Amino acid sequence: MKFAIIKERKSPPDKRVVFSPTMLLAFKEQYPQAEIVVESSDVRVFTDDEYRAVGFEVSNDVSDADVFIGVKEIPVDALVPNKKYVFFSHTIKKQQHNQKMLQAIIDLDISLFDHETITDSTNKRLIGFGRYAGIVGTYNCFRAFGLKYELFSLPKAEALQDQDALITRLKRMVLPPLKIVLTGRGKVGAGAKEMLDAMKIKEVSVQNFLTKIYDSPVYVQLDVLDYNKRKDGAMPHSYTDFFDNPQDYVSDFARFTNVADIFIAGHFHGNNAPDILTREMLKDKNCKLKVVADVSCDVGGPIACTVRSSCIKEPLYGYNPSTGEETDMHHPAAIVVMAVDNLPCELPRDASEGFGQMFLKHVIPAFYNNDKDGILKRSMIAEKGRLTERFKYLNDYIHENVPHV
């Protein structure tokens, strides 16, 4: 079996890669029978020479490989027929901009495995860049606060080498006694918590966060039952009640907006779950929020001030609570919004190293153990040009108004 580490062709360019030279070497050491070729790239954060230095072939033509491994979507004209591909296809929610790509995958008899659908037997995701989104998003939120109030000026995360460099910069800041609320306990929330802890910001309980006054920065990390309540006023028996019956709940997040200065949104928001931060909360005279770092970045989703996604080049914008519209971030009434939708791209070396570790641990073994744990089977969207049973709901999506290649 021959694996190709392919170049990223999406615009704007993505510097990340599934396997860094170090992790690709670990792959080869664990599976010496694997043939591996690296497609030449002038975009990737690791140079071609870094791969050559550890013994890998680098080529402009990798079409003889069996399995093509990348990060982001692939242009239709770059797809090779009758191959296996692994990348983030961004199709499972019927995203319109990738409709033609999935149709081409069907027409070209390609088998597609999606990073997003690589799960264990309980459907828990095994790989992703979420931790790095949390890391960079937290750095960006403090950068936004410094710029808004002209207290300090941090360089962009992309200008720094790694997570340690981000932490070093953050530690130099002198912060007022801010209250920071963090939602989510998954990979994104864990990455954000790493940064807050590295800054020596004190974690406090929900009760203390809501009622006490502090003379130094503090944060609270929330789970879904901390900011949602049942409409009937009853106490939920367990988290399962919320996940099974989200329509019976309403957001209780206003009690945090009335005391918090910064909101780092790192939650997962499921179907039919109530909106978290509503326009009414933002308009309320008691709302004290100054910065909202929407790491999850779901436009039109549960965070009302996320009116659009932003980009690495221009990561910040203002939100006017009175009008519900975007405004200059320096407007006196503006809440600063950070809603970059590709945050891990600002930390491409660290993100690539971490992603490769997960991919080598959870995915590569499935290619050599006859997929005994069903990793490949569950993640396969298309098999040799046909939608698999799990993803047949995409049938109308791929055929609707899409010309065949």
Among all residues, which ones are annotated catalytic? Answer: 72, 90
The 8-class DSSP code of residue 307 comes to: -
Residue 144 CA to residue 147 CA, distance in Å, equals 5
105: Cα separation from own chain's centroid? 24
Q: What are the beta bridge partners of residue 142?
A: none
Closest among 254, 180, 171 to 221, alpha carbons compared: 180
Binding residues, by number, are: 223, 295
Strand 57-59 and strand 249-251: pairing?
unpaired
Its sign, for the CA torsion 112, 114, 118, 124, is negative
H/E element, 250: strand 249-251
Close Cβ partners of 229 (under 8 Å, ≥ 6 residues apart): 249, 250, 252
Binding residues for NAD(+), by number, are: 223, 295
According to the 3-state scheme, what is the secondary structure of 83-123?
Answer: CEEEECCCCCCCCHHHHHHHHHHHHCCCEEEEHHHCECCCC
Close Cβ partners of 44 (under 8 Å, ≥ 6 residues apart): 7, 8, 15, 16, 17
Please say whether the beta carbons of 179 and 211 come within 8 A: no
> Which letter, b or e, does each residue of 321-341 get, where b requires 16 or more Cβ atoms within 10 Å of its Cβ?
beeeeebebeeeebbbbbbbb
Q: What are the beta bridge partners of residue 38?
A: 5, 58
Residue whose entry in the numeric block shows the structure tokens 């997960």: 358
